[in-house]
Chains A and B, each alone.
Chain A
Amino acid sequence: EIVMTQSPATLSVSPGERATLSCRASQSVSINLAWYQQKPGQAPRLLIYDASTRATGIPARFSGSGSGTEFTLTISSLQSEDFVVYYCQQYNYWPPWTFGQGTKVEIK
């Protein structure tokens, strides 16, 4: 099973600043990685797939990069609605599909 490790667990950032979230895979997953955003009480929402492709309707301030075992989600200028939890997920080795434990972005 591929283990996905996200860091940090909590990221404190001021509104308008840049946030950089990391995700590491226990072995190479190529670019088969997705990022999801989860607001309280809601289902996860797909943000990024194939490591760097924004899903439909996702603002340009969200960007993804990386390949192999190291991935990054960058939010260029944090808006109030962005202070929530983010998960990465690999879909290179299946089953099982595996998620990271999440990074909470909080207001500094």
Chain B
Amino acid sequence: QVQLQQWGAGLLKPSETLSLTCAVYGESFSGHYWNWIRQPPGKGLEWIGEISHSGSTNYKSSLQSRVTISRDTSKNQFSLKLTSVTAADTAVYYCARRNGENAPSYFQYWGRGTLVTVSS
């Protein structure tokens, strides 16, 4: 059974860097895209970006200047870094698996989410 376990700092000050990691259990890291999605309190879902096993990345254009998604295939893990955070970045951050690498697809598996609060 596929499981995504995520962790990272939950409280940041403005201008700091958000850093989260997601570990994949139960299947190979290859063959899928690994995503980060966030949800501000009481609001909807916003896709942030994704990375493939080979390291190919896609980012939401409005966040691209601040976002880096990387992976460590030896550990079956991928990570999110978001620089220069503000209160607007306060959200629950989810990692998720998007099925397949060669065709558009949906998010089949999700981590449990990490609440990240940005406050001075």
Q: Find the A residue at minimum CB distance from B57.
A: A95
B26 within 8 A of A: no
For chain B, which range describes its interface: under 10, 10 to 19, 20 to 34, or 35 or more residues? 20 to 34
State whether B107 touches A100 (Cβ < 8 A). Answer: no
Complex partner residue of A43 from B35, B58, B113, CB under 8 angstroms? B113
State whether B45 touches A87 (Cβ < 8 A). Answer: yes
- If A95-B60, A99-B47, A102-B44 touch, whether A43 touches B94 (CB-CB below 8 Å) is yes
B7 within 8 A of A: no
- If A32-B104, A91-B104, A95-B59 touch, whether A43 touches B44 (CB-CB below 8 Å) is no
State whether A46 touches B107 (Cβ < 8 A). Answer: yes
Q: Which residues of B contact A93 (CB under 8 A)?
A: 104
Q: Find the B residue at minimum CB distance from A55.
A: B108
Q: Which residues of B contact A34 (CB under 8 A)?
A: 106-107
Chain B interface SS verdict (over half):
strand
Within 8 A of B (CB), among A9-45: 32, 34, 36, 42-45
For chain A, which range describes its interface: under 10, 10 to 19, 20 to 34, or 35 or more residues? 20 to 34
Within 8 A of A (CB), among B65-105: 94, 96, 98, 104-105
- If A44-B107, A89-B107 touch, whether A99 touches B46 (CB-CB below 8 Å) is yes
Q: Find the A residue at minimum CB distance from B50.
A: A95
State whether A89 touches B44 (Cβ < 8 A). Answer: no
8 closest A-B pairs by CB: A34-B106, A43-B110, A91-B104, A99-B45, A95-B58, A97-B47, A49-B106, A101-B44
A residues with CB within 8 A of B: 32, 34, 36, 42-46, 49, 55, 87, 89, 91-102
Additional A-B contact list (19), CB under 8 Å, known A42-B113, A44-B45, A89-B107: A42-B112, A43-B111, A43-B112, A44-B107, A46-B106, A46-B107, A46-B108, A89-B45, A89-B106, A91-B106, A92-B104, A94-B58, A95-B49, A96-B58, A96-B60, A96-B61, A97-B35, A97-B98, A102-B44
